[in-house]
Amino acid sequence: MKNDQPNIFYTVNDLREFLAIASKQGKRIGFVPTMGNLHEGHLDLVRRASDLSDIVVVSIFVNPMQFGPHEDFDTYPQTLNLDCHALAGYDCAAVFAPTVREIYPKGLSTEIDVPRLSTILCGHHRPGHFKGVATVVCKLLNIVQPDIAVFGNKDYQQLQIIKTMVEDLLLPVQIIGTDTRREPNGLAMSSRNAYLLECEKQLASILYCALKKVAKAVQDNTQIKATLRQQKERLISAGFVLDYLEIRDAEDLSMTYVESDTAVVLVAAKLGDARLIDNVIVDLSK
């Protein structure tokens, strides 16, 4: 189904009524959860969802529960009109743009936690963040009840947490990860890149270079520790405040990647006002 402008729904009831008709017609529902401020990376997710389903729903909800007290919830870019405009012409039948009260009508007495995966890496630096993500994604999946839901591989830890949650809670949805869309200089696209000055955007490209250098060392199984140390030093001396640059097992994010088929090199670092994350997967079976 090609749409010029997606239908916009603000309430759970209205969206459910709309989707009930699609379900009765036997249509496969694809879902792309977002926090809005859509860029080409998000549109890739919509394209992927549309390839795999008959009707695509995009949610746009800046979820307060996943922001820490000193994080950017109040300043996070909210651009609903522009986002709907960007979705026109894509196969997006519905945008769900609820208020905070719609998603958390009685505050919060139930939380979803995937504790082991949520307390390492970004979870260590952003306590409570992934509990907020897992909770809102679980709610959104319950509202939309899609057959498939598409997420970006850029938020690699988030993707593994969501996959684990879906498996553990036996949710009837297939979770799909999609390749990271990059700027020509290699910088992973992210809504938070808007916080970077132009010169910082250029500098930020070395994050991806660092990941690729470490990934190559892992792939070749040579000088891994030395490469990791050099790349950490390089990022720090370029002005990044490094949260981590690590190699992990790609599935359970444990440190024992050596025994697995796939590893992932992950980075998180602050540059100016932006906290940037990125990763590169390494196929060790070759």
Least Cβ distance, residue 106 to ligand PAF (angstroms): 19
Q: Out of 12, 15, 22, 35, which residue is the one contacting ligand PAF (CB under 6 A)?
A: 35
Q: Is residue 136 part of the contact set for ligand PAF (CB under 6 A)?
A: yes
Question: Which pairs from 192-200 meet CB under 8 Å and 24+ separation?
Answer: 192/72, 192/274, 192/275, 192/276, 193/274, 193/276, 194/37, 194/77, 195/72, 195/272, 195/273, 195/274, 196/271, 196/272, 196/273, 196/274, 197/272, 200/271, 200/272, 200/274
Nearer to ligand PAF, 39 or 212 (CB): 39
Nearer to ligand PAF, 84 or 136 (CB): 136
Q: Which span sits near ligand PAF by CB under 6 A: 29-37, 91-99, 244-252, 268-276?
A: 29-37
Q: Is residue 157 part of the contact set for ligand PAF (CB under 6 A)?
A: no
- For 260, phi then psi, to 5°, come to -110, 175
- 42 as an active site residue: the answer is yes
Least Cβ distance, residue 162 to ligand PAF (angstroms): 7
Query: Could you tell me which of 202, 206, 216, 286 has the C-alpha nearest to residue 247?
Result: 216
Nearer to ligand PAF, 76 or 208 (CB): 76
Handedness of CA 33, 35, 36, 37 (dihedral sign): negative
Q: Out of 33, 41, 98, 123, which residue is the one contacting ligand PAF (CB under 6 A)?
A: 33
Helix (H) or strand (E) holding 86, with range, is helix 80-87
Q: Which span sits near ligand PAF by CB under 6 A: 32-40, 77-85, 216-224, 253-261?
A: 32-40
Residues catalogued as catalytic: 42
